[in-house]
Structure 1
Amino acid sequence: MEKELLEGADPVHDELIHDDKKRRKGGFITMPFIIANEALAKLASVGLIPNMILYLTEDYRIRVVKATKIMFLWLAATNFSPSVAAFVADSYMGRFLAIGLGSILSFLGMAVMWLTAMIPQARPPSCNHHSTENCQSATSSQIAIIFSCFALISIGGGGISCSLSFGADQLSKKTDPKNQRVLESFISWYIASQAIAVVFSMTAIIYIQDHLGWKLGFGVPAAVMFLSTLLFFLVSSRYVKNKPHSSMLSGFAQVIVVSYKNRNLSLPPKDSVGMYHQNNDSTLVAPTDRLRFLNKACIIKDKEKDIASDGSASKRWNLCTIDQVEELKAIIKIIPIWSSSIMVSVSSSQSSYHLLQAQTMDRHITSNFEIPAGSFGVFIMLAVFITAGVYDRIFLPLASKIRGKQVTISAKKRIGIGIFFSILDLVVSAIVETIRRKKAIQEGYIDNPKAVLNMSAMWLIPHNILCGMSEAFNAIGQSEFYYSQFPSSMSSIAASLFTLGSAFGNLLASLIVSIVDDITSRGGKESWVSDNVNKGRYDKYYWLLTIMSILNIMYYLICSWTYGPSDVEATSEKEERLTIRASRVHHEKEAS
């Protein structure tokens, strides 16, 4: 009692106690639990995706086209959710609650999915193996249950995606050199654990599904997700839980609203001083000339009414800062180049069809072991790691040594190289499918899509390698480009742009499949994307995507040219010109 009275009577003592409690929270001790939560969640969720097309078509008896569209929409929701979760976490919930709730929802989704495999009434009754004429399709309630699983897993995954930012929150003084090293270590282990989890999921989980059935194949991910949730909450009292703050997305909305409100105002002369509202710590004194109509959002109409005593805007929806305006301009300027990534995502999201092809091919490595059809995605991951490593550790140092100066390939060029490899991937996929289908017809399996052909599934590895190379150049190039073009305050937006592109790519892929199926099946013809992979013309479907991708690379080249040199490219070109000029002066002096 006396201690409480003393604490209340001495504000300085209270503050010291508060600081001491704050110092005891967070730090390195919490980071393994955050990493474990994300890695185990990734291990549980990634293993559900590759074989899901089989669960939908064989157990729920959904047509291949419809099942593929469901998969595309699920992936789109999964890729959209991190951006939505980041906005909700930053503005309303806070990251701890977002990750905790996301973990619980993911576990519930996986638990219900496991129950669909355990409870016969949750699925259509089994068919007669000799005849499929009397097979019953899934009822509306059964479809609703499996859809609810997808929704819970997607929403939960979005919440868990806040883990990286939440881990950074655990360091109270990020400028401290010791904390910087801890943060670098955390990020390295975070990325490494993700990669290991994905590879393990694409092999072990899929192997369990193929050889031990759906009951164990869905039960293991649910158990892993439960462990992930448990580990996260195990040290909940030790976490630093920062309060929500205003989101940058609301800032973008403010710029649009205020610029519309001020649409009738005239822009001040270029040399005007003090006519635009700026942050106290900002170096910007006036907005740029591009997209000038947005500049009206930061015009000060009446300094006494518009500006508060602390220098901020009296009403945020009546006046914005120059920084807010320039941040929105940066987003708008980047959209054309960003949109070119959508078609690359369409190309890389065709895994369901490649799995159907793999099932019809000989996947044996030895007489006793065969690669599960859903595990071929591991070769894509390996190609990404090897390509990124060779580029960074072998190609660039070797090129620099040969040229006698530092050699780099700009982010925009790497994006273009990634798009080019995605085209090659589709060309190879079309050629391999042409050969596979021809062999199926020759061996008399045109009406038997489940028959295994006398053709090795290793023919699919070139597609996996090219897909991985495309990902390595395009994804890394995009991320670097966005980070280099945005201010540090927009790092969260830069991080989410790639997943947003993937989400739109999944939606476009679903639309393309619907249109192709509708047009090619008219007049009673067999659809290009038929349930029977041997009767369908998946080779023509891949050639169609190839043509679209060729148009996309032409569109990208135009967008890249109109964008002009990035800040990094402009600096590099300037340095190169200065070096050449200095070299000429040096030679002229030697000659004289």
Structure 2
Amino acid sequence: NEALERLASFGLSTNMILYLTREYGMDAASGAQILFLYSAAGNFMPIIGAFLADTYVGRYPMIGFGCIASLLGMVLLWLTTIIPGATVPSCAQFSSRCTNDATTPQLLFLYFCFGLMSIGAGGIRSCSLAFGADQLSKRDSLKHAGILESFFSWYYVTSSASVFISMTCIVYIQDAMGWKVGFGVPVVLMILSTLSFFLASPIYVKPKAKASWLIGFARVLVASFRKRRIELSSPDTDELYHHRKGSALVVPSERIRFLNKACVVKNPEEDLMPDGRASDPWRLCTVDQVEELKALIKIIPIWSTGMLVSVNVCQNSFLLLQASTMNRHITSKFEIPAGSFYAFMLLSLTMWIALYDRVIIPLASKITGKPTRLGLKQKIGIGILGSAASMAVLAIIERVRRETAIREGISDIPDAVTHMSAMWLLPFYFLLGFSEAMNGVGLNEFFYTELPKSMSSVASNLYSIGLSAASLVASFIVGNVRGFISEANQESWVSSNINKGHYDYYYWLLSSLGVANFIYYLACSKAYGPCKGGQKGITGDVREGLIDDDDDDDVV
């Protein structure tokens, strides 16, 4: 279900910058900002969907609602290619950019379509993985453990494969057959996704909604605020704290002591019920709940360093414009669609993960004579440097491309194609894939390792929240570059005419921010201290970071 939804949605979004500039008369920067916001909404909505599903409606209704919302949004977007008044009338498909601006009703209808697809993605992606795991109900068997592991593996394989197919096959259909057919194919795929989900409804296991982790965090904050006037005793003084029955955590840690007020029992007769539960969970929380929130707060600085790396990954709109002005012919008759070049990043990502896991780690372990791997914080740092390096490489490539366009006398023609091969972009995608293999995978593993097991759902959503925030940051950077850096009577760095603008300066800016982000990461890493188990780097034992697996209650 989710694989088909991703196939449909990414098939629409990959070439969307061309649709906005050619059919709606938008300049490149405005179109990119809209897509940044659309990406931010698409990555943030699953958080809201997960909260609503876990707390109120359940996962099955949430996925069903998401299917309907996504399908409706895609159908309405497809209609913009059919209804004559939906786009700027004077624009011909795949011709030069529009000279007229879209009207307010046209833009509102377009934004409504994007909004529906974002809401739909939030309903589907927030629950599909967990709902699929719910179907494997025999939790106590070893056979079930193998099936569950296989399910998770195939989930990520199919998700990645669907994105790859959308960036190759669907993009090619859009380039070869036009927008009507190109946007119609995702609609058909979404119809198949919706039908497959609802037709299998009778055989689904449908767990009911229960309290969400967000509610637990909110209770800790509210209880701490309500008890703000309570004076905490010194660490050596005996104080009564409320803890879960059978929990190993009976005393909170000393970091962020203000939150400890949430679990202090001042009057047992009033604060506790006869069975030991809190009489008011919004005034008294358990030590476990307090420590879970502290663990989340502790990793936020390192989580924030991943945002700027994701900003570089979000530059697909500008990269598509760049590739569209370069020679993309493999043979005299076959030309790679500009929107398909991002698939090289996915190939690079897959290659680096396989190379690291199957070649580098076994070879390093053989050389050292013991299990060896990079520490999590080392992987994250290497990924940040790789991301900064990739943008520097892209800036050099763009400068050469721009000079080639000027030398060939086509700088005044935005859609003109230079003789420079688009294959020169591959080193950039190679480095970007390496960065994601190190930083993206490292951050996800870091979240799962450092947060307690009871917060696994939080860990699984942190990276998506980072992608959402990165899209907003990217939109903010583009807005400032367009509004403040360009001088009077000069083209903006991110001009719609890529030959007149200075996208190389824009990429150098991102690279510089990446270097600054690495310095910030070093400070955050030092302040964080050692990871669980004390990872010692490339010669560290492979068991490091896993020693807490047998202790579900250790959240420190």
TM-score by length of structure 2 reads 0.94
Against the structure 1 CA distance between its residues 186 and 134, is the aligned structure 2 distance closer, same or farther, given a 3 Å change threshold?
closer
Shift of 1:199: 1.3
**Conserved in 2, the CA contact under 8 Å of 1:90 and 1:245?**
yes
Deviation at 1:173, TM superposition (A): 2.8
Matching residue's letter, 1:187: F
For 2:98 and 2:506, locate their aligned partners in 1 and report how far apart those are by CA, in whole Å.
Answer: 31
Q: Deviations over 1:78-101 (max 9, x none)?
A: 111111111111111110011110
Structure 1 residue 408 corresponds to structure 2 residue 392: no
User: Structure 1 residue aligned with 2:128, among 160, 163, 171?
Assistant: 163
Assess if the C-alpha contact under 8 Å between 1:345 and 1:501 holds in 2. yes
2:478 maps to 513
Does the residue aligned with 1:383 lie in a helix, a strand or coil? Answer: helix
Deviations 1:511-537 (CA, angstroms, capped at 9, x unpaired): 111111112334222111111000000
Aligned residues: 539
Partner of 1:243: 208
| TM-superposition CA deviations, 1:352-393 (whole Å, max 9, x none) | 111111111110011110100000011000011100000011
1:94-127 deviation line (CA, Å, top 9, x unaligned): 1001111001101111111110111111111024
Which residue of 1 is the match for residue 46 of structure 2? 82
Structure 1 unpaired stretches of 5+: 1-36, 577-592
Match of residue 178 from structure 2: 213
Distance 1:433 1:572, change over 3 A: closer
Kindly report which structure 2 residues correspond to 1:132-531, keeping only aligned pairs within 5 A, or say none. 135-161=99-125, 162-271=127-236, 275-531=240-496
Residue 588 of structure 1 is matched in structure 2 by none
Bigger mean CA offset, 520-529 vs 485-494: 520-529
The RMSD of aligned alpha carbons is: 1.8
Matched AA of 1:109: G
Distance 1:63 1:146 in 2: 16
Query: Which is greater in Rg?
Result: 1
User: Runs of 4+ in structure 1 displaced over 6 angstroms?
Assistant: 131-134, 571-576
Partner of 2:2: 38
Q: Per the alignment, do residues 225 and 573 of structure 1 end up closer, same or farther by CA in structure 2, a change over 3 Å counting?
A: closer
C-alpha deviation, 1:190, in angstroms: 1.3
- SS of the equivalent of 1:567 reads coil
Q: Distance in 2 between matches of 1:352 and 1:254?
A: 41
Shift of 1:181: 2.0
Q: Is 1:94 the equivalent of 2:62?
A: no
Relative to structure 1, the CA distance from residue 574 to residue 418 in structure 2 (aligned partners, 3 Å threshold; closer, same or farther) is: closer
Letter in 2 for 1:221: P
Shift of 1:172: 2.5
SS in 2 for 1:300: coil
Equivalent pair of 2:135/2:205 in contact (CA under 8 Å): yes
Tell me how far 1:575 sits from its aligned partner. 8.6
**Code of the aligned partner of 1:360:** T
The alpha-carbon deviation at position 435 of structure 1 amounts to 0.2
- Deviation track 1:263-322 (CA, whole Å, cap 9, x = no partner) reads 121223435567000011311010001011110100001111111122211111110000
Q: Is the 8 A contact 2:27 2:496 kept in 1?
A: yes
CA distance in 2, matches of 1:383, 1:311: 54
Matched, 1:551 2:520: no
C-alpha distance 126-486 of structure 1, shift in aligned 2 (>3 A): same
Q: Match of 1:427, SS?
A: helix
Higher helix share: 1
Q: Which runs of 5+ in 2 are unaligned?
A: 542-556
Deviation readout 1:190-242 (Å, 9 max, x if unpaired):
11211221111111100000010000100000110010000001111211111
Deviations 1:495-551 (A, max 9, x none): 111111111111011011111111233422211111100000001111111111111
Structure 2 vs 1, CA of residues 270 and 360 (structure 1 numbering), >3 Å: closer, same or farther? same
The aligned counterpart of 2:548 is none
Select between 164-173 and 93-102 the one with higher mean Cα deviation: 164-173
TM-score, L = length of structure 1: 0.89
Moved more, 307-316 or 361-370: 307-316
Partner of 1:115: 79
Aligned to 1:563: 528
Q: Go from structure 1 to structure 2 and tell me whether the alpha carbon gap of 1:132 and 1:500 turns closer, same or farther (over 3 Å shift).
A: closer
Q: CA deviation at 1:574?
A: 12
